[in-house]
């Protein structure tokens, strides 16, 4: 695929880039991946900023610099404010508030009635929520002055939404969206893939290295985890909830790949997450109990799970000192074992 035929149907910015840079396939390939394929969320703002910087640098190294033209010939970089976000992955955006009662209309927001259910959607500025989503989508395709204008419109609309919540419900979806700051290096207290990324039907791949936080430090959040996670256990470490959350973010047939603690294999608090995983296809479970190859104080594993009901077999690998003389791929190819899926249920996994 080359030349003008290759850019038919492409987004305006990508099409312009293609027409100018048909001799730079690496640049165009990276641009397409960054714009359409990669999304990231982290609770630490520095991690988000480093991710954006790495994307920018990966494009710049393939640019052709010309000191004789404007901006040295370097094109506008993609807008990543809605691609890499600083947020709490484990807490979702509140659902739209539903309350039984008669229809009322506020001065700032529409009220949507669900007469078939005998319910009224209250507290939510639904017209402004829809407009906010439109501005987010437009921002991703903008640059220069247009980009700045859309950001101003976004902020002004949020201010109106915030005013609306003062007279209605302070913990509503409208309130949360009015306080979200995608253009600043500030943590958002919730995460929602559809709102932040425009992704409605899940991801093909979820990759992560969830934090190792023991249950003793999670007591202030126990009610929240108990209400929102099926795999809740009072003694569960934080990574358990990341596994469940990440599986819920997958498309059908999508793949989860985690470097994580391996305690869930044998602890009592891991019973529910083991049962959930046993209902999927465990493509690989690479156990590092005998060898610490990652910079972590706990024994680790690589967990690769496909989001569909598995065959009768699962693949496991136990890593020992020989890993120091082989690559991980070679070690896995040499020592993998297929075990009967009946051994992987809620009970402790005796691999």
pLDDT of 4-42, one tens digit each? 443 444 555 555 555 555 567 888 888 889 888 999 999
Same domain, 211 and 267: yes
- Domain containing 158 equals 98-179
Q: How far apart are CA 264 and CA 242, in angstroms?
A: 12
Q: How far apart are CA 278 and CA 83, in angstroms?
A: 32
Same domain, 119 and 236: no
Same domain, 276 and 334: yes
Same domain, 328 and 210: yes
Same domain, 311 and 241: yes
Q: How far apart are CA 142 and CA 32, in angstroms?
A: 15
Q: Which of 28, 43, 78 is the last residue of a domain?
A: 78
Same domain, 209 and 335: yes
How many domains are there within the chain? 3
**pLDDT single digits (tens) 215-260:** 999 999 999 999 999 999 999 999 999 999 999 999 999 999 999 9
Residue 323 lies in a domain: yes
Same domain, 223 and 325: yes
Within 10 angstroms of residue 230's Cβ, the number of other Cβ atoms is 10
Residue 104 lies in a domain: yes
Q: How far apart are the first and last CA of the chain?
A: 48
Mean of the per-residue pLDDT values for the chain? 81
Residue 194 lies in a domain: no
**pLDDT single digits (tens) 311-345:** 678 888 888 888 888 888 898 889 888 888 878 87
Same domain, 51 and 105: no
């Amino acid at each position: 695929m080359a030349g003008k035929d290759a850019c038919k149907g492409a987004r305006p910015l990508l099409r312009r880039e293609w027409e100018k840079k048909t001799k730079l396939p690496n640049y165009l390939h990276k641009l397409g991946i960054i714009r359409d394929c990669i999304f990231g969320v982290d609770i630490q703002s520095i991690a988000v900023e480093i991710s954006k910087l790495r994307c920018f640098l990966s494009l710049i190294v393939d640019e052709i610099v010309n000191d004789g033209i404007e901006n040295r010939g370097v094109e506008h970089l993609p807008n990543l404010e809605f691609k890499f976000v600083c947020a709490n992955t484990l807490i979702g955006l509140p659902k739209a508030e539903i309350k039984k009662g008669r229809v009322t209309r506020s001065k700032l927001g529409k009220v949507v009635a669900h007469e078939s259910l005998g319910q009224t959607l209250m507290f939510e500025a639904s017209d402004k929520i829809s407009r906010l989503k439109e501005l987010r989508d437009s921002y991703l395709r903008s640059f220069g002055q247009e980009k700045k204008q859309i950001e101003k419109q976004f902020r002004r609309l949020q201010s109106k939404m915030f005013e609306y919540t003062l007279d209605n419900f302070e913990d509503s979806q409208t309130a949360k969206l009015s306080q979200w700051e995608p253009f600043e290096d500030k943590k958002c207290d919730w995460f929602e893939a559809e709102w932040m990324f425009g992704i409605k039907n899940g991801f093909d791949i979820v990759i992560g290295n969830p934090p190792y936080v023991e249950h003793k430090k999670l007591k202030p959040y126990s009610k929240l985890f108990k209400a929102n996670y099926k795999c809740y256990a009072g003694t569960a470490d934080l990574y358990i909830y990341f596994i469940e959350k990440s599986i819920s973010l997958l498309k059908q047939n999508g793949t989860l790949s985690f470097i994580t603690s391996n305690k869930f294999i044998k602890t009592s608090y891991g019973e529910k997450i083991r049962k959930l995983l046993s209902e999927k296809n465990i493509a690989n479970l690479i156990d590092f109990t005998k060898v610490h190859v990652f910079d972590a104080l706990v024994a680790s594993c690589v967990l690769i799970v496909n989001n569909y009901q598995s065959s009768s077999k699962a693949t496991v690998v136990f890593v020992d000192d020989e890993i120091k003389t082989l690559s991980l791929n070679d070690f896995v190819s040499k020592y993998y074992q297929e075990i009967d899926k009946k051994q992987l249920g809620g009970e402790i996994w005796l691999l």
